[in-house]
Amino acid sequence: MISLTDLVDSLGPGLLRTVEDGHGSQVDDSQVHDVVLAEPGEAAGQPGEIVLGVGVAGPADAVALLERADAAGADGVVLKAPLADDPAVVAAARSLRPALVELQPDTSWTHVVWLVRGAIDRAYAPLPGPVGAQDVHNDLYALADAAAEIADAPVTVEDARSRVLAYSGRQDSTDPARVSTIVGRRVPPQVIAHLRASGVFRRLAQSSDPVFVPESPDGMLPRLVVPVRAGGEWLGSIWVVARTPIPPGRVQRLTELASVLALHLLRLRAEAGVARRVSADQLRAALRDGAPITAPAPPWRVVVLGTLDETEDIRQRLDLWDAITYRFGWHRPLIGDLDGALFAVLTDRPHPRSEADPGSLPWLRHVLDRVRSHDRALYAAAGGLAHSRTELPRSRAEAAELDALVASGHLAPGLVLLEDAWDAVVVERARTAARVDAGLLGGPLPDLRAHDERHGTAFLPTLAAWLDHFGDAKGTAQALGVHPNTLRHRLRRMAEVSALDLASPRLRMALRLQLSALGHPAARRNE
């Protein structure tokens, strides 16, 4: 259900880091199901287990533990820094099966067991409801109430993306910014802009020291912000409405509470990450082979979520769309990458309950209208309806074809549906089948192309334009930017160079497909 690589990535560099992958694909393909403590003189784990090097004192003991874990078939060994980076330990791990994983030196082994087992449990028994274990969310609300008691003021707990994870029950001494934050489940954009301009986020990302935010002109009360960090990584913050100054002793207690909160945020992130990976694996299987999928009732559409920004890799695109879907209320999105593209499965019922139903096609249309006002590079390409899971691979292939047409400029970006662009897909399929690397089968094009190459004429683009304008001399001449007499002269010369009989509709269609395969596309649509 979850590999060691995915587990380490889910917990993040603030806790764990892979030093050596072990025996490559063996480890990548294995599934982790438990974490165990190393017992002196006993077998160190078994297949599917991660061994914690508790009490390992030096390089010699670490190498011995790695060898015992290798003999037992364990998938990984966790050692604290700096021991995990010792050259002798790294060299030994490089030749053995278990992966070598480094743990931050100031982390409790008990906390590691709690975090890792929570993530593994999440992978093997996903919980219903929004991503993230319910008990962790309950703990966050309890910690928010505890922070409010310490500060004697209202509190919100937010992640590094300014999303509200929990808030205290106290509602006194509040202001419109806090109300909007709680109701909207994230800090309002105008407040974020003010805080960013004031350098608040930069200080939170770079330091563990609490930050005082003065009262703002728009009525936002002063805030005391306590960063929540783990291993130098900024995970989130405790925001206290500080109508009056908070005594230093209480600030210190809030800082101590932040270290406890960091563990909960790590677990929440790990379990959310694991849940997304499990969902993405299930989605990939459904898109490839029509495997069972946990999703609302069909019909569905497979959609490529794309961007024209070629500098963004698939990981950045996934992060971007994950943030967008969360912002607009789709908290358990069916999103995953496959073959270099980012796919989503959306519902498309004839009469949705509401256009704002997260995860529906009307919802995606609304989202694109909003986000494209700021980023015109974003788009979505939706394949045809899938009335059962066995039709998902076909819808995926159609979405991928539309995506390629948008990326190549043949279709304008936005929300592109198969029903609206089916003709472009048909032509592209035929053009691909007539691709040039198979060679032109015959007809007049070889001679016309050779004449263009030898004499610098423009016979091929002239023929493409003439076919696109149904033989209309005036429209063809305008498209080429030449005089109609010039066009007529070219057509006569073309007939002299090659036998060019354009009376047959089938011949005209074959010529147009060959020209498209040679790189003479028809006029682009929707532009």
Closest by CA position to 107, among listed 294, 310, 259? 259
CATH class of 295-433: alpha beta
CATH class of 439-517: mainly alpha
User: Using N-to-C axis directions, what is the helix angle for 445-455 and 459-468, rounded to 10°?
Assistant: 130
Q: Name beta bridge partners: 385.
A: 301
Q: What is the pLDDT of residue 286?
A: 93
- What's the pTM? 0.55
Provide the b/e sequence for 157-170 (b: ≥16 CB within 10 Å): bbbbebbbbbbbeb
- Is the domain 4-124 a CATH 3.40.1390 member? yes
Q: What is the pLDDT of residue 122?
A: 64
Q: Name beta bridge partners: 405.
A: none
Q: Which residue has the tokens 């009262």?
A: 215
Sign of CA dihedral 61, 62, 63, 67: positive
CATH class of 134-266: alpha beta
Q: What is the pLDDT of residue 508?
A: 86
Q: Name beta bridge partners: 303.
A: 344, 382
For residue 433, pLDDT over 50 is answered with: yes
CB atoms within 10 A of CB 335: 22
How distant is the alpha carbon of residue 327 from its chain centre?
14
Q: Do 68 and 96 form a contact (C-beta atoms < 8 A)?
A: no
For residue 190, pLDDT over 80 is answered with: no
Domain borders along the chain are 4-124, 134-266, 295-433, 439-517
For residue 9, pLDDT over 60 is answered with: yes
Angle at 111 between CA 109 and CA 114, to 5 degrees: 115
Q: Do 46 and 72 form a contact (C-beta atoms < 8 A)?
A: yes
Does 407 or 231 have the greater pLDDT score?
Answer: 407
**Rounded distance between C-alpha atoms, residue 359 and residue 151, angstroms:** 40
**Domain 4-124 and domain 439-517 have a common topology:** no
DSSP 127: P
Q: What is the pLDDT of residue 28?
A: 46
Determine which of 136-150, 334-348, 403-417, 435-449 has the lowest per-residue pLDDT on average: 435-449
Q: What is the mean pLDDT of the chain?
A: 83
Q: Do 257 and 178 form a contact (C-beta atoms < 8 A)?
A: no
Whether the upstream peptide bond of residue 350 has omega within 30° of 0, thus cis, is no
Q: What tens digit of pLDDT does each residue of 286-338 get?
A: 999 999 888 888 999 999 999 888 777 887 788 788 778 877 878 778 898 89
DSSP 17: E
Does 316 or 244 have the greater pLDDT score?
Answer: 244
| pLDDT interval class at 353 (50, 70, 90) | low
* Type of residue found at 204: L
Q: Do 227 and 204 form a contact (C-beta atoms < 8 A)?
A: yes
426-448 mean pLDDT: 74
Q: What is the pLDDT of residue 132?
A: 43
**What does the block give as tokens for 4?**
């060691």
**What does the block give as tokens for 303?**
């959609």
